[in-house]
Amino acid sequence: MPRKLAAGNWKMNGLRANLVELAKLEEKHGDADVDILICPPTTLISACEDTPFDIGGQDCYAADSGAHTGDVSAEMLADAGASYVITGHSERRTDHGETSADVAAKSRAAYDAGLIAVICIGETLEEREGGTTLAVIDAQLKGSVPDSADAENTVIAYEPVWAIGTGKVPTLTQIGEVHAHIRKRLTDRFSDGTEMRILYGGSVKGSNASDIFSVADVDGALVGGASLKADDFSPIITALENS
């Protein structure tokens, strides 16, 4: 079975003073039986070098270098100490107009830099209510995941857009249906598709984590707001260890 992964996406939150939360998390989970990934803002990546946890970027540019003011390359993230990078988060797709082709290019750049890409996919509420969820997932998987993806360099994160930061969570049946569908597509396309990790993301918290992790093909979670505080993230990690 794939090794389980608890990933925290701090988004545009966090100053050096907030790194005390990592110290608190280390006290509880420094020797966890699952992988723990923290994706702080880029400004804090190098400051996290002493943590026992994996550190990732929240985005990268597809080019190695050049006249791209304000952008950060995958190579720069690796140089700062990152080992992962999130690509294709719905907030990037929505706020910055990123296409699946953009996501694939960024993921390939991540591979070239030796980073693991956490490739995000997920449907909007309109798509869910319109009954096109699986078609959307198919299109995003096909367009966002490079042919060079494998279980070592890629993690897939299913995040229904309508559940991110809203407190709304799909039913366990809905989560199971999508994760099973993703698994089938991965195993059809990649020789090691059964070993690729598939995370669930979208209003995951300590009170619902155990139920979510009981669903087949849920290999962990990509957590937003609840990862900012050790006291909130810790129960999620514990639930994953016990799943």
pLDDT single digits (tens) 17-70: 999 999 999 999 999 999 999 999 999 999 998 999 999 999 999 999 999 999
- Report the distance separating Cα 179 and Cα 194, nearest Å: 12
- Report the distance separating Cα 190 and Cα 63, nearest Å: 26
For the chain, the structural domain boundaries read 5-241
Please give the pLDDT value at position 7.
Answer: 98
Q: Which residue in the list 29, 75, 89, 91 is annotated as catalytic?
A: 89
Structurally, at CATH architecture level, domain 5-241 sits in Alpha-Beta Barrel (3.20)
Q: Which residue in the list 21, 91, 127, 159 is annotated as catalytic?
A: 159
**215: helix, strand or coil:** coil
204: left (phi over 0), alpha (psi -120 to 50) or beta: beta
pLDDT above 90: residue 165: no
- In the residue annotation, 179 being an active-site residue is answered as no
CB environment 130-139: b (16+ within 10 A), e (fewer): eeebeebbee
- Contact by Cβ (8 Å): 85, 117: yes
pLDDT tens readout for residues 70-82: 999 999 999 999 9
Instruction: Name the percent of the chain in helix, strand, coil, to the closest 5.
Output: 45, 15, 40
Q: State pTM to two decimals.
A: 0.97
Residues 6+ apart with CB under 8 A from 235: 205, 206, 207, 209
pLDDT above 90: residue 128: yes
Greatest CA span in the chain, whole angstroms?
A: 47
Q: Which helix (H) or strand (E) holds 38?
A: strand 35-39
User: Looking at residue 116, what DSSP letter applies?
Assistant: E
Please give the pLDDT value at position 1.
Answer: 81
Q: What percent of the chain is predicted at pLDDT more than 90?
A: 95
- In the residue annotation, 89 being an active-site residue is answered as yes
The chain-wide mean pLDDT, for the chain, equals: 97
Give the model's confidence band at 169: pLDDT under 50 very low, under 70 low, under 90 confident, else very high.
Answer: confident
What is the DSSP annotation of 148-165? Answer: T--TTTEEEEE--GGGTT
